[in-house]
Amino acid sequence: MNTKLKRDFIKICSDGYKQGWHERNGGNLSYRMKDEEVKEVKAELNEDSEWKEIGTEVPSLANEYFMVTGSGKYFRNVELDFEDNVCIIKLNEDGTKYKIVYGLVNGGRPTSELPSHLMNLEVIKNRNEDLRVVYHAHPCNVVALSFVLPLDEEIFTREIWEMETECPIVFPKGIGVVPWMVPGGKDIGIKTSEIMKEKDVALWAHHGMFVCGRDFDEAFGLMHTVEKSAEILVKVMSITNEKLNTIRPQDFRDLQEPFNVTLDEKFLYEKSSKKIGEK
C-alpha cells in the first residue's frame, strides 16, 4: 500500500511520538475512510476475515472502513513497519462487529480504545460528515494540570484559554472533562462521546486527551494547541498561583467578531479570586 492516506497517518504518528506524547504503547488513532480512499486500496483488502464484537453499537458507522492503530503497538514503530502496527477494519451492517481487512500482519487487534474511538467517530459524523479523525495522546502538561485544577469544564477551559489568545479561536466550544475512569471500555467511551457531541476536545483526568478533526493536521494541531497552553500554565503556576495580568472576559468577547467565533458565556465568568483555578 502506498497512498497519501497511509503517508498522512504515518506522519501524525511520528509527529506525536516526537512531541513525547506516546511513551511505550500510549495513545491511539482512528480515521473514517472516504469512499474513494477505500476504492483505491480495495484490491489489497482481505474481506474473508472473521467478524468480532466491538463491545458497543455504532449504527451510524455501519459498513464503513477505518484505519486504526493496533492494540499494544508503539507509535514510534508505525513509520518503521506500518503493516505490523496499523490495520484497516470494516464494520458490519448494524455497527456491532468489525473485521480486520488489512494490516496487523503479525497478529493483534485494533486499539484497546476501539469503543471510545468508534463512539466518538459516530457522534462527530452526526455533527459534521467531514469530521473523520479521532486522536488520543498522553501529553504531559495537560495531564499535570488535571492534578491541580478543579475537574470542572468551565474552570479548565477558562484557565487554558487565558494562556494563549489562539485557544478560544481554535477550540471555541472549550474542553470537556472526564474524571478518572478505567480506560479501554464502553463506559469511558460513552462519557467521552457525550462531550464530543459538541466539543472537539475531551480531557481524561490523570491520563490524556481525546481530540477530533476533519483531517490529521487539524487533530494534531488541536492537541498541540491545548498542550502548548497547558505548558504555559504549568510554567506560570511554577512561578506563582496568582496572575498579575491576563486576558479578561471582555477581551475574549472582542475576539468573536474578527475571528468569526461564538464563545459560550459560561466560560467568561467574572472572577472573584486572582488565584489560578478559582472562580
Q: Using the rule CB under 6 A, is 28 a contact of ligand 2HA?
A: yes
Residues 145-204 contacting ligand 2HA, CB under 6 A = 183
Nearer to ligand 2HA (CB atom), residue 26 or residue 150: 26
Binder of ligand 2HA out of 12, 37, 54, 113 (CB under 6 A): 113
CA-nearest of 217, 188, 215, 214 to 203 is 188
What the block records as the C-alpha cell of 244 is 498579575
Nearest residue relative to Zn ion (C-beta)? 208
Footprint of Zn ion on residues 208-267 (CB under 5 A)? 208
* Planar angle of CA 213, 217, 220, nearest 5 degrees: 75
| Residue number with CB closer to ligand 2HA (28 or 229) | 28
Q: Is 113 tagged catalytic? A: yes
Q: Which residue is nearest to ligand 2HA (CB)?
A: 183
Q: Which of residues 221-240 bind ligand 2HA (CB under 6 A)?
A: none
Of the candidate residues 14, 96, 112, 256, the single one contacting ligand 2HA (CB under 6 A) = 112
Among 15, 19, 26, 277, binds ligand 2HA (CB under 6 A): 26
CB within 8 Å of 20: residues ≥ 6 apart: 139, 140
Q: Catalytic residue among 113, 164, 227, 231, which?
A: 113
Residue 61 grid coordinates? 458507522
109/271 with CB nearer Zn ion? 109
Which residues between 176 and 215 bind Zn ion (CB under 5 A)? Answer: 208
In the complex, least distance from residue 193 CB atom to Zn ion, rounded to whole angstroms: 16
Binding region for Zn ion (CB under 5 A): 208
Residue ranges that bind ligand 2HA, judged by CB under 6 A: 25-28, 112-113, 136, 183
